Amino acid sequence: MTKTMRQTSWLTVLGSSLALLPLFSGSAVASTTPGSLTLSSTFDAISVRASFSGDPNGNNSATIQFRKQGDSVWKSALAPIVDRRTSISGHANPYVNQARGSIVGLQPGTTYEVSLTFSDPAGIVGSATLTGAVATIAPAAPVSGAALFVDAGAASGGNGSSGSPFNSIPTAISAATAGTTIRVRPGTYPAFSISKSGNASGYIAIVGDARDQVFINGSTANNINVSGSFVQLKNLRLKQSNNSSINVQNGSHHIWIENIYHENISASRNYDDAGVSIGDNTHNVYVLSNEFYSASLTNFNIPGNAWDQAGAGIYINASPNPIGTFVFKNNIMSAGFRDCIGNAVESWGNGTVDNSDIAYNYVTGCKDDGIQMEGDDVNLRIFGNVIDATGWSCIANEVALVGPVYVFRNICRLHGSNSGYAFKLSGSPGYAFYIHNTIDTTGGASSDGWGGGGSKPVQFIYNNIIRTSGIGLDAIGSTNACVGSINCNVTSNVDSNLYLCNGTYFNAFGGTHQRHQSGLQRRNCDSEFQQPGFCLAVSGVRARHRRLRSWQRPSNAFSPPGLSPSLSVPGRDQVRGYSARLARRWRLVLSQSILPRC
């Protein structure tokens, strides 16, 4: 959900305020005029944008605060990035003169007040503070309570009541109105399509009585086609598809796909097939607690490169206009997909995934990238995922053009035969933050931590555990950020990372603030990793960085627990994000890697 307003209230924003060279300090013509505030939400986060004008010397900054509606105490968020770039990679920047950031660690179905305040040494014209309020998405799709019943074994001519059910899903869809729940009893049903729409207060929900007893057969194409909006699919088991299991077609929005088992995706082995394929001009698509498998793809290889292979678990196949608010959360993907989660385009103007979360997924066995999300993404958050990768990367932001993109609290194990990267950033001029990730690339070929070709001028890498026999951070900040902007003194910042093993910590580093690099680089990998202050405890799913004292200061921009949902030290809130199935997968990954149990 999104609200745009002027002068509204506060939230927890990720980002990093940019201090710029004061060319016109003290001059009235150099002052900042705040514009409007736009707030968008997911289940767990809020995206914040605030426009401004003026500030020709590029030295303004901003802060964000938030609180639950009705609370008296405000919490400070991480400062937003301030984007003054007039062009990016040769294209006009539609997001120029904006402060942008994200608030994380929030509760679903809760209204928050948010406040963004500009400051400028040359002064502020009008009010410095913009305020607003927005609710996070509620944990359940809204339905009115009306129900229709379907039973594959029923006689034809039923009226949809519990005692006289319909015998086909299409018949129930024809009778449904906004807010109707179609209850599907155990049985096997043909593939179907839904073009009818609910509304914001009442979805049309198709819900199986028991996921592993309600089967939807494949067809010559997909198991389920969705061209309506405000539609929920829940508790279904999809048999082998010829192409995609679920195809969310162009223009659809508010599609809720929950607890679906995808047995065997893509018998035809086409490039664009997926468990959930999402079309153009779509938004508010939620894929929650699904399981994705494909025996058809696992042992099949198309001649060529890993990125030429067929199929994906979730695929945003949208060019040129995906809109955003996609949430892919608590899913399990184990198959020979090209990318477990991916998008269709990797260039300017076609990849916008605005206000989106990829969270708490377990992904393994994909041939190219575990998670690929590339293009001009804005307020994209990738967090809490467990990625057991044998392809080229765990997470690919190649390229991240705009930002901010936030990658935090992920576990990455990269152990294939390719010399890849835990985090692939090739040619990424956008703002990206990597915070409190744990990576291990020592199980296969010599793979790096962060890297890839091209310039990566504004990457912020904080408080990560990096175990690799390759390069820890390769060519980060290799080109400064002033091309097409006034931000000539803004470049990458690396701080308080723990690097272990026999490779090179920095290579061709062009950024600033390499604080604590020498103090945290460790040569004796095994003995250092076993020390209590550096281990990752499986029982509490908690990484303990007691020795990283710079992350415990109240004055630090990444606030310690108690001031805001902290990215630097995960607590038990992270545990609650994992389902029991994902917790078991977490333990499996750790048991197969060098990460110790504390």
Task: Write out the E strands in 172-230.
Answer: 181-184, 187-189, 192-194, 204-208, 214-216, 224-226
CA 111 to chain centre: 21
Split into its structural domains, the chain has a count of 1
Q: What is the pLDDT of residues 129-180, one digit of tens each?
A: 999 999 999 999 999 889 999 999 999 999 999 999 999 999 999 999 999 9
Domain assignment present for residue 401? The answer is: no
Asked whether residue 311 is assigned to any structural domain, the reply reads no
pLDDT value, residue 81: 92
Closest residue by Cα to residue 169 from 215, 201, 211, 210: 215
Please tell me the distance from the alpha carbon of residue 63 to that of residue 79, in angstroms, as a whole number: 5
Residue 50 maps to which CATH number?
2.60.40.10
Pairing state between β 224-226 and 204-208: unpaired
- pLDDT for 71 equals 95
Is there a domain that residue 228 lies in?
A: no
Neighbours of 2 (CB within 10 A): 16
| Torsions phi, psi for 130 (to 5 deg) | -110, 135
pLDDT of residue 568: 33
318 in any annotated domain:
no
CA gyration radius, the chain: 24
CA distances to 199, 379, 537 from 249, in Å: 17, 24, 43
Give the pLDDT of residue 448: 85
The token duo for 6 is: 């002027």
Q: Read off the pLDDT of residues 370-399 as tens digits, 9 standing for 90 and up.
A: 898 887 889 999 999 999 988 888 998 887
What parts of the chain have a pLDDT lower than 70? 1-28, 319-322, 345-352, 427, 454-457, 475, 477-492, 495-496, 500-598
Measured between alpha carbons, how far is 355 from 294 in angstroms, rounded to an integer?
A: 30
For residue 347, the model assigns a pLDDT of 62
In a domain, 404, yes or no: no
| Residue 388 resides in a domain | no
Domain that holds residue 55: 2-135
The bridge status of strand 542-543 relative to strand 81-83 is unpaired
**Residue 206, both tokens:** 């198709």
Assess if residue 336 is contained within a domain: no
Query: Does residue 82 lie within any of the structural domains?
Result: yes
Cβ–Cβ under 8 Å, residues 458 and 430: yes
Is residue 317 within 8 Å of 289, Cβ to Cβ?
no
